[in-house]
A and B are shown apart, each in its own frame.
Chain A
């Protein structure tokens, strides 16, 4: 597979591959040789491409090096952060002062995080603004056209007028899709959750009083949805910063999402509630 080889002159195929991966939200890592000494056959420049499930395209010429690269590429894909590692010819870590080394730069191409806001009411508006500021691709959905429209959501990437269960049954939810349910009644939460609980969404937040959340929880449990699945739902929503206004609530929700995404240490309100409920059930 010489797809990335400079000698073959096929290098722009890699740019096309990157663009199509970005468009289809397929995470991958571009792997560049950024330095080499005393390892024959290895040249500077883009050399390999890594996709999920340990698929490595291209080679550094030895299984030991390729194995090390695949491991570190998997890490880079998880963190989404570019990083450089230096290896000896056998794939073990090496210093740049070693007689023989390959310095490898990992450049992860990961999907832009996407926030889907269900319910286009008074919380959704500041939430969409806040998400846009934090560079999330922002989608808003509501079945009411007089709520879900451009005038109310000028910064949103997509504003969709659709019944929520239909919208969520068609949405391709990927591991970079965060979902916030700020609907006007618990039945919309329920119909959304039925579609969402089996997706890889890293975050499903649901607004509502403890009573409303409890009703949704009990309704879905009665339908036979396992308590474990419901533990994924963040409700009460948002970090505990004493929010009162819609903008403050939006801030608490985005803070919770950032905390989750970046591995922060703020504690989430929701987990206790469902643990307690699960234990007593």
Chain B
């Protein structure tokens, strides 16, 4: 928890926008835990994880939009079982809140 907020404070202190992704809900047989979190930075790097593979690429794509426009989003990800190769939706769904963090007007001035 501590590094999550420390990264936010560090980056926003430099005037950067930071985007946080939080797993807020899941249905079905998803291994991801509610409360999993990930940060996306303007230089393309990231911190933390919300789960592997296809989940992360979906989240990353949406985080990029939020990095660009500063708007919070909530997305629902269908978890596709890649092992079956048929695109079966059998892994359940994941609710992810994606939101921007920005420096306060006072800090930026």
Contacts and interface: CB of A to CB of B under 8 A. Distances in A.
A19 B6 contact: yes
B101 A84 contact: no
A10 interface: yes
A12 B35 contact: no
Question: How big is chain A's contact interface, by range?
Answer: 20 to 34
B105 A12 contact: no
A9 B103 contact: yes
Given A9-B103, A12-B107, A45-B72, A32 B9 contact: no
A18 B34 CA distance: 19
Contact of A13 (B1, B6, B73, B104): B104
Nearest to B105: A9
B72 A9 contact: no
A258 interface: no
A12 B12 contact: yes
B34 A32 contact: no
A248 to B, nearest CB: 31
Interface string B3-15: 0011011001100
A269 interface: no
Interface string B61-98: 00000000000111000000000000000000001010
B25 interface: yes
Interface in B1-49: 1-2, 5-6, 8-9, 12-13, 22, 24-25, 34-35
A53 B9 CA distance: 27
A22 B5 contact: yes
Given A18-B5, A19-B6, A45-B72, A34 B103 contact: no
A18 B74 CA distance: 23
Contacts of A32: 22, 24, 97, 99
Contact of B35 (A9, A44, A46, A82): A82
A39 interface: no
B104 to A, nearest CB: 4
A186 B73 CA distance: 60
A109 interface: yes
A12 B13 contact: yes
A12 B102 contact: yes
Contacts of B25: 34, 84, 103, 105
B57 to A, nearest CB: 21
A79 to B, nearest CB: 12
A190 interface: no
Given A44-B97, A44-B99, A105-B97, A84 B24 contact: yes
Contacts of B95: 34-35, 84
A15 interface: yes
B1 A22 contact: yes
11 contacts: A9-B108, A11-B101, A12-B107, A18-B5, A22-B2, A32-B97, A35-B74, A35-B95, A45-B97, A45-B99, A81-B34
Given A34-B25, A35-B95, 10 more contacts: A8-B105, A12-B13, A12-B104, A16-B9, A18-B1, A34-B24, A46-B99, A83-B34, A107-B35, A109-B1
Interface of A: 6, 8-13, 15-16, 18-19, 22, 32, 34-35, 43-46, 81-84, 103, 105, 107, 109
